[in-house]
Protein backbone atom coordinates (compact mmCIF):
# COMPACT_ATOMS: atom_id res chain seq x y z
CA UNK A 1 0.00 0.00 0.00
CA UNK A 2 1.10 3.59 -0.53
CA UNK A 3 1.07 5.75 2.60
CA UNK A 4 0.19 9.28 1.53
CA UNK A 5 1.37 12.03 3.83
CA UNK A 6 -0.42 15.23 4.69
CA UNK A 7 1.98 17.08 2.41
CA UNK A 8 0.45 15.24 -0.53
CA UNK A 9 -3.04 16.05 0.66
CA UNK A 10 -2.21 19.74 0.95
CA UNK A 11 -0.80 19.77 -2.60
CA UNK A 12 -4.17 18.44 -3.71
CA UNK A 13 -5.83 21.40 -1.99
CA UNK A 14 -4.20 23.71 -4.58
CA UNK A 15 -2.08 25.65 -2.16
CA UNK A 16 -4.63 26.21 0.57
CA UNK A 17 -2.80 26.73 3.84
CA UNK A 18 -4.43 25.94 7.19
CA UNK A 19 -4.89 28.61 9.81
CA UNK A 20 -3.03 26.49 12.36
CA UNK A 21 -1.24 23.13 12.52
CA UNK A 22 -4.13 21.59 14.45
CA UNK A 23 -6.64 22.72 11.84
CA UNK A 24 -4.70 21.29 8.91
CA UNK A 25 -6.43 17.91 8.37
CA UNK A 26 -9.94 19.35 8.61
CA UNK A 27 -9.05 22.31 6.42
CA UNK A 28 -7.60 20.00 3.79
CA UNK A 29 -10.67 17.77 3.76
CA UNK A 30 -13.03 20.76 3.50
CA UNK A 31 -11.01 22.27 0.66
CA UNK A 32 -10.96 19.00 -1.25
CA UNK A 33 -14.72 18.63 -0.88
CA UNK A 34 -15.28 22.19 -2.07
CA UNK A 35 -13.42 21.55 -5.33
CA UNK A 36 -15.04 18.17 -5.90
CA UNK A 37 -11.96 16.03 -5.36
CA UNK A 38 -12.59 12.43 -4.33
CA UNK A 39 -9.82 10.94 -2.23
CA UNK A 40 -8.65 7.35 -2.66
CA UNK A 41 -9.77 5.31 0.34
CA UNK A 42 -6.22 4.93 1.66
CA UNK A 43 -5.60 8.66 1.54
CA UNK A 44 -8.96 9.40 3.12
CA UNK A 45 -8.12 7.00 5.93
CA UNK A 46 -4.73 8.61 6.33
CA UNK A 47 -6.46 11.96 6.68
CA UNK A 48 -8.80 10.44 9.27
CA UNK A 49 -5.72 9.24 11.14
CA UNK A 50 -4.25 12.74 11.11
CA UNK A 51 -7.53 14.18 12.33
CA UNK A 52 -7.61 11.65 15.17
CA UNK A 53 -4.07 12.56 16.19
CA UNK A 54 -4.79 16.29 16.15
CA UNK A 55 -7.98 15.86 18.17
CA UNK A 56 -6.58 13.51 20.80
CA UNK A 57 -3.45 15.63 21.20
CA UNK A 58 -5.67 18.59 22.09
CA UNK A 59 -7.93 16.59 24.42
CA UNK A 60 -11.00 16.22 22.21
CA UNK A 61 -11.42 12.55 23.03
CA UNK A 62 -15.00 11.99 21.90
CA UNK A 63 -14.43 13.77 18.60
CA UNK A 64 -11.23 11.79 17.92
CA UNK A 65 -12.75 8.33 18.37
CA UNK A 66 -14.70 7.96 15.08
CA UNK A 67 -11.74 9.25 13.06
CA UNK A 68 -9.38 6.78 14.74
CA UNK A 69 -11.76 3.85 14.30
CA UNK A 70 -12.34 4.58 10.60
CA UNK A 71 -8.64 5.00 9.92
CA UNK A 72 -7.66 1.80 11.68
CA UNK A 73 -10.36 -0.22 9.93
CA UNK A 74 -9.03 0.78 6.50
CA UNK A 75 -5.29 0.97 7.12
CA UNK A 76 -4.65 -2.02 9.36
CA UNK A 77 -5.55 -4.70 6.75
CA UNK A 78 -3.28 -2.97 4.22
CA UNK A 79 -0.09 -2.61 6.22
CA UNK A 80 3.08 -4.00 4.68
CA UNK A 81 5.63 -3.39 7.42
CA UNK A 82 5.84 -3.31 11.22
CA UNK A 83 6.23 0.46 11.20
CA UNK A 84 3.05 0.88 9.15
CA UNK A 85 1.25 -1.46 11.55
CA UNK A 86 2.27 0.64 14.51
CA UNK A 87 1.15 3.83 12.74
CA UNK A 88 -2.25 2.28 12.11
CA UNK A 89 -2.99 1.20 15.68
CA UNK A 90 -1.20 3.48 18.14
CA UNK A 91 -3.51 6.53 17.73
CA UNK A 92 -6.56 4.32 18.19
CA UNK A 93 -5.06 2.84 21.34
CA UNK A 94 -4.57 6.32 22.79
CA UNK A 95 -8.15 7.38 22.04
CA UNK A 96 -9.60 4.16 23.44
CA UNK A 97 -7.55 4.58 26.63
CA UNK A 98 -8.62 8.16 27.20
CA UNK A 99 -12.27 7.32 26.50
CA UNK A 100 -12.18 4.55 29.11
CA UNK A 101 -12.27 1.54 26.78
CA UNK A 102 -9.22 0.12 28.47
CA UNK A 103 -9.46 -3.53 27.38
CA UNK A 104 -9.51 -2.60 23.70
CA UNK A 105 -6.78 -0.03 24.27
CA UNK A 106 -4.57 -2.73 25.81
CA UNK A 107 -4.97 -4.88 22.71
CA UNK A 108 -3.79 -2.14 20.35
CA UNK A 109 -1.04 -0.79 22.60
CA UNK A 110 0.43 -4.29 22.76
CA UNK A 111 0.06 -4.65 19.01
CA UNK A 112 2.06 -1.44 18.58
CA UNK A 113 4.80 -2.76 20.86
CA UNK A 114 4.91 -6.08 18.99
CA UNK A 115 5.30 -4.17 15.74
CA UNK A 116 8.29 -2.28 17.14
CA UNK A 117 9.94 -5.48 18.36
CA UNK A 118 9.27 -7.36 15.11
CA UNK A 119 10.77 -4.43 13.22
CA UNK A 120 13.99 -4.71 15.23
CA UNK A 121 13.23 -1.52 17.17
CA UNK A 122 13.01 -3.02 20.65
CA UNK A 123 15.79 -0.75 21.95
CA UNK A 124 14.91 2.31 19.90
CA UNK A 125 14.21 5.30 22.17
CA UNK A 126 10.70 5.79 20.79
CA UNK A 127 9.76 2.25 21.85
CA UNK A 128 9.77 3.55 25.42
CA UNK A 129 6.50 5.25 24.51
CA UNK A 130 4.93 1.89 23.72
CA UNK A 131 5.89 0.49 27.13
CA UNK A 132 4.61 3.61 28.84
CA UNK A 133 1.38 3.48 26.81
CA UNK A 134 0.60 -0.04 28.02
CA UNK A 135 1.66 0.71 31.60
CA UNK A 136 -0.36 3.91 31.82
CA UNK A 137 -3.44 2.14 30.51
CA UNK A 138 -3.01 -0.55 33.18
CA UNK A 139 -2.42 2.07 35.87
CA UNK A 140 -5.61 3.90 34.91
CA UNK A 141 -7.52 0.69 35.66
CA UNK A 142 -5.83 0.24 39.04
CA UNK A 143 -3.70 -2.67 37.76
CA UNK A 144 -0.57 -1.34 39.42
CA UNK A 145 1.35 -4.60 39.80
CA UNK A 146 0.83 -5.41 36.12
CA UNK A 147 1.97 -1.92 35.15
CA UNK A 148 5.14 -2.18 37.24
CA UNK A 149 5.92 -5.63 35.85
CA UNK A 150 5.61 -4.29 32.31
CA UNK A 151 7.85 -1.30 33.01
CA UNK A 152 10.41 -3.49 34.75
CA UNK A 153 10.56 -5.67 31.62
CA UNK A 154 11.54 -2.74 29.39
CA UNK A 155 15.03 -2.91 27.89
CA UNK A 156 17.70 -0.25 28.17
CA UNK A 157 16.93 2.18 25.36
CA UNK A 158 19.53 3.71 23.08
CA UNK A 159 20.81 7.17 23.86
CA UNK A 160 19.38 9.94 21.73
CA UNK A 161 20.78 13.25 20.56
CA UNK A 162 19.34 16.16 18.67
CA UNK A 163 15.60 16.90 18.42
CA UNK A 164 16.09 19.50 21.13
CA UNK A 165 16.75 16.80 23.71
CA UNK A 166 19.11 17.86 26.49
CA UNK A 167 19.59 14.46 28.13
CA UNK A 168 20.58 11.55 25.84
CA UNK A 169 19.03 9.18 28.41
CA UNK A 170 15.66 10.91 28.15
CA UNK A 171 13.65 7.85 27.14
CA UNK A 172 15.03 5.69 29.94
CA UNK A 173 14.02 8.48 32.31
CA UNK A 174 10.55 8.23 30.80
CA UNK A 175 10.30 4.65 32.04
CA UNK A 176 11.48 5.69 35.50
CA UNK A 177 8.98 8.54 35.57
CA UNK A 178 6.18 6.18 34.60
CA UNK A 179 7.21 3.84 37.40
CA UNK A 180 7.03 6.73 39.86
CA UNK A 181 3.55 7.61 38.57
CA UNK A 182 2.35 4.03 39.12
CA UNK A 183 3.50 4.04 42.75
CA UNK A 184 1.76 7.37 43.24
CA UNK A 185 -1.45 6.04 41.70
CA UNK A 186 -1.22 3.02 44.00
CA UNK A 187 -1.16 5.33 47.03
CA UNK A 188 2.53 5.04 47.85
CA UNK A 189 3.67 8.65 47.53
CA UNK A 190 6.89 8.07 49.44
CA UNK A 191 7.96 5.28 47.10
CA UNK A 192 7.00 7.50 44.17
CA UNK A 193 9.45 10.12 45.43
CA UNK A 194 12.17 7.50 45.79
CA UNK A 195 11.64 6.29 42.23
CA UNK A 196 11.24 9.75 40.71
CA UNK A 197 13.96 10.68 38.16
CA UNK A 198 14.78 14.27 39.06
CA UNK A 199 16.76 14.71 35.85
CA UNK A 200 13.38 14.81 34.06
CA UNK A 201 12.91 18.29 35.43
CA UNK A 202 15.77 19.52 33.22
CA UNK A 203 14.04 18.46 29.99
CA UNK A 204 11.70 21.33 29.00
CA UNK A 205 9.14 19.19 27.18
CA UNK A 206 9.01 16.64 30.02
CA UNK A 207 9.00 19.13 32.89
CA UNK A 208 5.21 19.73 33.10
CA UNK A 209 4.41 16.02 33.51
CA UNK A 210 7.37 15.54 35.84
CA UNK A 211 6.19 18.41 38.04
CA UNK A 212 2.69 16.93 38.14
CA UNK A 213 3.99 13.63 39.50
CA UNK A 214 6.43 15.26 41.88
CA UNK A 215 3.98 17.88 43.12
CA UNK A 216 1.22 15.39 43.80
CA UNK A 217 3.68 13.10 45.59
CA UNK A 218 4.80 15.97 47.82
CA UNK A 219 1.18 16.89 48.56
CA UNK A 220 0.33 13.34 49.54
CA UNK A 221 3.46 12.76 51.62
CA UNK A 222 3.11 15.69 54.01
CA UNK A 223 4.63 18.64 52.12
CA UNK A 224 1.60 20.29 50.46
CA UNK A 225 3.09 23.79 50.22
CA UNK A 226 6.01 22.50 48.18
CA UNK A 227 3.71 20.27 46.19
CA UNK A 228 1.28 23.06 45.38
CA UNK A 229 4.07 25.22 43.97
CA UNK A 230 5.13 22.40 41.65
CA UNK A 231 1.55 21.59 40.62
CA UNK A 232 0.76 25.20 39.81
CA UNK A 233 3.85 25.44 37.61
CA UNK A 234 2.78 22.26 35.85
CA UNK A 235 -0.73 23.59 35.27
CA UNK A 236 0.51 26.91 33.88
CA UNK A 237 2.77 25.05 31.46
CA UNK A 238 -0.03 22.75 30.32
CA UNK A 239 -2.44 25.64 29.83
CA UNK A 240 0.13 27.39 27.64
CA UNK A 241 0.14 24.42 25.28
CA UNK A 242 -3.33 25.45 24.18
CA UNK A 243 -5.22 22.18 24.59
CA UNK A 244 -8.99 22.14 24.36
CA UNK A 245 -10.80 23.40 27.47
CA UNK A 246 -12.29 19.93 27.85
CA UNK A 247 -8.95 18.09 27.84
CA UNK A 248 -9.37 15.44 30.56
CA UNK A 249 -5.73 15.52 31.68
CA UNK A 250 -5.92 19.27 32.29
CA UNK A 251 -9.20 18.87 34.17
CA UNK A 252 -7.65 16.14 36.28
CA UNK A 253 -4.63 18.30 37.07
CA UNK A 254 -6.89 21.16 38.13
CA UNK A 255 -8.61 18.85 40.60
CA UNK A 256 -5.23 17.68 41.93
CA UNK A 257 -4.18 21.33 42.34
CA UNK A 258 -7.45 21.99 44.16
CA UNK A 259 -6.92 19.12 46.56
CA UNK A 260 -3.42 20.32 47.37
CA UNK A 261 -4.68 23.89 47.80
CA UNK A 262 -7.23 22.61 50.30
CA UNK A 263 -4.46 20.90 52.25
CA UNK A 264 -2.71 24.25 52.72
CA UNK A 265 -5.98 25.91 53.75
CA UNK A 266 -6.91 27.69 50.53
CA UNK A 267 -10.53 26.59 50.23
CA UNK A 268 -11.50 29.31 47.75
CA UNK A 269 -8.84 28.19 45.27
CA UNK A 270 -9.85 24.56 45.79
CA UNK A 271 -13.47 25.39 44.92
CA UNK A 272 -12.41 27.40 41.86
CA UNK A 273 -10.28 24.51 40.57
CA UNK A 274 -13.10 22.06 41.23
CA UNK A 275 -15.53 24.19 39.23
CA UNK A 276 -13.12 24.35 36.30
CA UNK A 277 -12.63 20.60 36.35
CA UNK A 278 -16.34 19.83 36.66
CA UNK A 279 -17.11 22.11 33.71
CA UNK A 280 -14.67 20.13 31.55
CA UNK A 281 -16.10 16.75 32.53
CA UNK A 282 -19.66 18.00 32.01
CA UNK A 283 -18.77 19.24 28.53
CA UNK A 284 -16.99 15.97 27.67
CA UNK A 285 -18.23 13.13 29.88
CA UNK A 286 -17.02 10.37 27.54
CA UNK A 287 -13.61 9.95 29.20
CA UNK A 288 -11.96 7.38 31.43
CA UNK A 289 -13.09 7.47 35.10
CA UNK A 290 -9.41 7.78 35.97
CA UNK A 291 -9.45 11.42 34.98
CA UNK A 292 -12.45 12.36 37.11
CA UNK A 293 -11.39 10.43 40.22
CA UNK A 294 -9.38 13.30 41.83
CA UNK A 295 -12.33 15.65 41.36
CA UNK A 296 -14.69 13.24 43.11
CA UNK A 297 -12.25 13.10 46.02
CA UNK A 298 -11.92 16.89 46.06
CA UNK A 299 -15.68 17.40 46.09
CA UNK A 300 -15.96 14.95 48.98
CA UNK A 301 -13.25 16.79 50.90
CA UNK A 302 -15.01 20.10 50.24
CA UNK A 303 -18.36 18.65 51.23
CA UNK A 304 -20.00 19.88 48.02
CA UNK A 305 -21.15 18.50 44.71
CA UNK A 306 -20.57 20.94 41.87
CA UNK A 307 -23.19 20.95 39.11
CA UNK A 308 -22.65 22.59 35.74
CA UNK A 309 -24.62 22.41 32.49
CA UNK A 310 -23.34 21.52 29.04
Q: Are residues 148 and 225 in the same domain?
A: no
More confident residue, 4 or 51: 51
Task: Classify residue 152: in a domain, yes or no.
Answer: yes
- Using the predicted structure, report yes or no on whether residue 54 has a pLDDT greater than 80: yes
Of 198, 215, 249, the domain-final residue: 198
Q: Give the confidence band of 162 by pLDDT, cuts at 50, 70, 90.
A: low
Which of 65, 38, 67 is closest to 51 using CA atoms? 67
* Window from 6-15, 71-80, 151-160, 231-240 with minimum mean pLDDT: 6-15
Let me know if residue 68 belongs to a domain. yes
Q: How confident is the model at residue 42 (pLDDT cuts 50, 70, 90)?
A: confident
pLDDT at 164: 61
Is 168's pLDDT higher than 50? yes
Q: How confident is the model at residue 270, as a pLDDT? A: 98
- For residue 15, is pLDDT > 60? no
Mean pLDDT lowest for which of 20-34, 77-91, 132-146? 20-34
CB neighbourhood size of 2 (10 A): 10
The CA-to-CA distance between both ends of the chain, in Å, stands at: 43
On the question of pLDDT at 5 being above 60, the answer is no
Q: What is the Cα–Cα distance from 192 to 15, expressed in whole angstroms?
A: 51
Q: What is the mean pLDDT of residues 78-84?
A: 92
Q: Residue 30: inside a domain, yes or no?
A: yes
Q: Which residue has the higher pLDDT, 301 or 38?
A: 301
> In sequence order, which ranges of 76-163 are alpha helices (DSSP H)?
82-98, 102-118, 128-140, 144-152
Residues 6+ apart with CB under 8 A from 149: none
Q: What is the pLDDT of residue 44?
A: 85
Q: Residue 214 to residues 139, 209, 220, 295: CA-CA distances in angstroms?
A: 17, 9, 10, 19
Model confidence at 292, pLDDT cuts 50, 70, 90, reads very high
Q: Which of 144, 163, 198 is the last residue of a domain?
A: 198
Helix (H) or strand (E) holding 65: helix 61-75
Asked if 28 and 18 count as a contact pair (C-beta separation under 8 A), the reply is yes
Tell me, yes or no, whether 108 lies in a domain: no
Residue 8 pLDDT more than 80? no
Q: How far is CA 47 from the centre of its chain?
A: 21
Q: 19-33, 109-123, 128-142, 150-164: lowest mean pLDDT where? A: 19-33
* pLDDT of 35 strictly over 90: no
Q: Answer yes or no: do 213 and 291 share one domain.
A: yes
What are the percentages of helix, strand and coil residues in the chain, rounded to 5? 70, 0, 30
How confident is residue 19, by pLDDT bands cut at 50, 70 and 90?
very low
Count of C-beta atoms within a 10 Å radius of residue 307: 7
Residues 211 and 305 both lie in one domain: yes
Residues 6+ apart with CB under 8 A from 253: 212, 231, 234, 235, 238
| Same domain as 256, residue 166 | no
Confidence (pTM) = 0.87
In CATH, what number is assigned to the domain containing residue 295? 1.25.40.10
Q: Looking at the predicted structure, is the pLDDT value of residue 247 above 80?
A: yes
Per residue in 180-212, pLDDT tens? 999 999 999 999 999 999 999 999 999 999 999
Q: Tell me: do 168 and 250 sit in the same domain.
A: no
The average confidence (pLDDT) of the chain is 88
110 in a structural domain: no
Domain that holds residue 274: 206-310
Closest CA to 31 of 14, 55, 7: 14
User: Measured on CA atoms in the order 281, 251, 299, 194, is the torsion positive or negative?
Assistant: positive
Q: Is pLDDT above 90 for 2?
A: no
pLDDT at 36 over 60: no
Measured between alpha carbons, how far is 203 from 161 in angstroms, rounded to an integer? 13
Domain total in the chain: 3
Most confident among 10-24, 40-54, 140-154 (mean pLDDT): 140-154
Mean per-residue pLDDT for 217-225? 97
Q: Which pLDDT band, with edges at 50, 70 and 90, does 306 fall under?
A: confident
pLDDT for residue 9 is more than 80: no
Q: Are residues 192 and 211 in the same domain?
A: no
Percent of the chain with pLDDT over 70: 85
Amino acid sequence: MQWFGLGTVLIWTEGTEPSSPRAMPSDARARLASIGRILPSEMSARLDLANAQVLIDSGQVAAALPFAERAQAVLYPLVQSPSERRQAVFPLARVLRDSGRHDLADRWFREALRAQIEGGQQSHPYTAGDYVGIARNLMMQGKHEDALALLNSAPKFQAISGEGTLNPDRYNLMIQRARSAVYLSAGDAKRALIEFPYLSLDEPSDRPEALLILGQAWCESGDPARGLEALRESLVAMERIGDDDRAPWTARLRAVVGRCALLVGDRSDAIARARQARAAFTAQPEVSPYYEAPLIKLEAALGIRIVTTR
